[in-house]
């Protein structure tokens, strides 16, 4: 059995995939809900100083705009993807947010199939 010495280790933020679930998304409403969940998780990461406040605001703004566009009667697929890519580009560099980046990339793939 492996043993890990975690003394003096300080973890400010860790995402454990308990809020965002893109695996079973089968319609636009579910995708919107998961995009909103990603935004909530970015807020939590910001509160724990895993992402700069200004960057978190940009990410949340892009995610909110993507979700709002997805809710419209005739959503613009390219616009949604662009907003999600903007959010992804911001979180991509933060090691602690690698799972959120993966979630955003998966959401972009779902836009391609659902819209």
Question: Would you say residue 18 lies in a domain?
Answer: no
Question: Would you say residue 13 lies in a domain?
Answer: no
pLDDT tens digits along 15-44:
555 678 888 899 999 999 999 999 999 998
Question: Would you say residue 6 lies in a domain?
Answer: no
Question: Would you say residue 22 lies in a domain?
Answer: no
Question: Would you say residue 8 lies in a domain?
Answer: no
Whole-number pLDDT of residue 11: 47
Domain of 106, in residue numbers: 28-114
Instruction: Kindly state the DSSP code that residue 97 receives in the 8-state scheme.
Output: G
Encoding tokens for residue 86?
């903007």
For the chain, the domain total comes to 1
State the average pLDDT over residues 54-58: 94
CB contact at 8 A, 51 and 63: no
CB contact at 8 A, 20 and 103: yes
CB contact at 8 A, 19 and 103: no
Prediction pTM value? 0.82
* Whole-angstrom Cα Rg for the chain: 15
């Amino acid at each position: 059995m492996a043993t890990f010495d975690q003394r003096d280790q300080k973890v400010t933020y860790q995402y454990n995939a308990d809020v965002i679930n893109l695996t079973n998304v089968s319609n636009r409403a579910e995708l919107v809900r998961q995009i909103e969940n990603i935004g909530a998780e970015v807020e939590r990461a910001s509160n724990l100083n895993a992402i700069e406040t200004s960057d978190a605001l940009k990410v949340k703004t892009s995610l909110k705009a993507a979700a709002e566009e997805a809710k419209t009667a005739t959503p613009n697929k390219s616009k949604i993807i662009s907003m999600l890519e903007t959010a992804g580009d911001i979180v991509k560099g933060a090691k602690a947010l690698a799972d959120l980046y993966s979630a955003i990339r998966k959401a972009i793939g779902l836009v391609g199939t659902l819209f």
